[in-house]
Structure 1
Amino acid sequence: MRKTKEKNELFEWIKTIGIALLFAFGIRFFLFEPIVVDGASMMPTFENGDKVVVNKIGPELIDYQRFDVIVFEAKEDTNYIERIIGIPGDRIAYENDELFINGERYEEPYLEEYKKALLDNDTLTGDFTLEEKLGETTVPDGTFFVLGDNRRDSTDSRDPRVGFVSEEKILGTAKIVFLPLDNLKIIK
């Protein structure tokens, strides 16, 4: 009788561990995924080597918003992390380091730290329009126009090789830096 009890207890432990592993795999695969930032494209928001959590389910329930930080598949086996600047139908332009969307000036508080750190007193973001960069007057349906926060050193939608980002290529939003601990923060 004691052997049966020990077998049942062992089976319960195996079952519990198996369920926990399936649950952990499900969360990582379907809901949240940790990624490592590679490069300077999003400095100072994200530093090279930061580990961030990508929320893969939130955007399935709500629409992507202007200024969300997203992770998307840029090419096979290569993901980029950038900020949505333009949503479908937007006209985007930069003049004198200021963002204009549909003719209205927008503040970008996440860039202030970087602008203050410029040693050459030049602009962080050079002047451009969508038409000059990508030959379109507005962001096409089902796509987004993205920029890195480090505007001088970012491969983003201004580069025709990246261009507009299709919604199908977006893996999710990045809102939390969890490692290294001294960079721990929530992205707004």
Structure 2
Amino acid sequence: MGKRVKRAVNEWLTALMVAASLMLVIRVFLFAPYEVHGQSMSPTFEGEELLIVNLLVYDVSEPDYGDIIVFHTKENRDYIKRVIGKPGDRIAVEGGRVIRNGKTLAEPYIKRETFAGTRIKQTMPETVVPEGHLFVLGDNRSNSRDSRDIGAIRESEVVGRADVIVAPPKAFQILFW
């Protein structure tokens, strides 16, 4: 092999190593793929979508109302739900409507119809979201295990915010705008 060929191969290998290293850093520290399982976030997600979760966003900002987050549970599972309440908020559910700090929320993203055999928690007495916690709900209220069942989640359990639906291609959508 000539010097030029060796140098070209060396440059390509170096470029590939740099690219692989960058991809590893991006995957480990910035963004992670997450596959949606189940119907708890329908119609926003119908199940089997592949999302990109921003792992850094909450290192520089706080979760906000309406953010769709991935978080760890005590059952060693990851859930994906929508942020409804932040620390200090008073949350209640009356007749299927969510009331935050005395005001009924307009929630155009939720699925109100019920499914045979599902348990629906249409009423929940007012609760105050503790410091360092979030109150989260699935968009498909009749088929979601969320803060109505597991209580407010610790902010420290939040993995990140779902920013983009990348698959299937027809479902592609940027979520955080």
Which range moved further: 84-93 or 74-83?
A: 74-83
Q: What is the rounded CA distance, in whole Å, between the counterparts of 2:147 and 2:115 in structure 1?
A: 26
Give CA deviations for 1:14-50 in whole Å, capped at 9, x if unaligned.
1110000011111111111111101111111111111
The match for 1:138 among 128, 139, 151 is: 128
In structure 2, the partner of 1:43 is: 42
Shift of 1:4: 3.1
State yes or no: 1:25 paired with 2:24: yes
1:157 to 141, 147, 165: 147
The 8 Å contact of residues 53 and 161 in structure 2, kept in 1 or not, is answered as yes
Deviates more, 1:6-15 or 1:21-30: 6-15
CA distance in 1, matches of 2:35, 2:100: 31
- Aligned match of 2:33: 34
Instruction: Answer whether contact 2:91 2:99 (CA < 8 A) is retained.
Output: yes
More helix by share: 1
> Which of the numbers 160, 163, 173 marks the counterpart of 2:161?
173
Q: CA deviation at 1:187?
A: 2.8
Structure 1 residues 77 and 5: alpha-carbon distance in aligned structure 2, compared to 1, 3 A threshold? farther
List runs of 5+ in structure 1 lacking aligned partners. 131-136
String of CA shifts for 1:60-112, please: whole Å, max 9, x gaps. Answer: 2111001110000114652100011110000001122322111122211112x
Q: Residue 53 of structure 2 corresponds to which residue in structure 1?
A: 54
Tell me the C-alpha RMSD between the 2 structures.
2.1
Counterparts of 1:3 and 1:187, CA distance in 2: 52
Counterpart AA for 1:144: L
Equivalents in 1 of 2:10, 2:52: separation in Å? 34
> 1:26-105 alignment to 2 at 5 Å?
26-75=25-74, 77-105=76-104
Name 1:128's counterpart in structure 2.
Answer: 124
> What displacement does 1:182 show?
1.9
Identify the residue that residue 170 of structure 2 maps to in structure 1.
182
SS at match of 2:135: strand
Is contact 2:114-2:142 (8 Å) kept? no
Unaligned runs of 5+ in 2: none
Q: For this pair of structures, how many residues does the alignment match? A: 173
Q: TM-score scaled to structure 2, two decimals?
A: 0.88
SS state at 2:163 partner:
strand
Amino acid at match of 1:167: E
- Is the CA contact 2:121–2:148 (under 8 Å) kept in the aligned structure 1? no
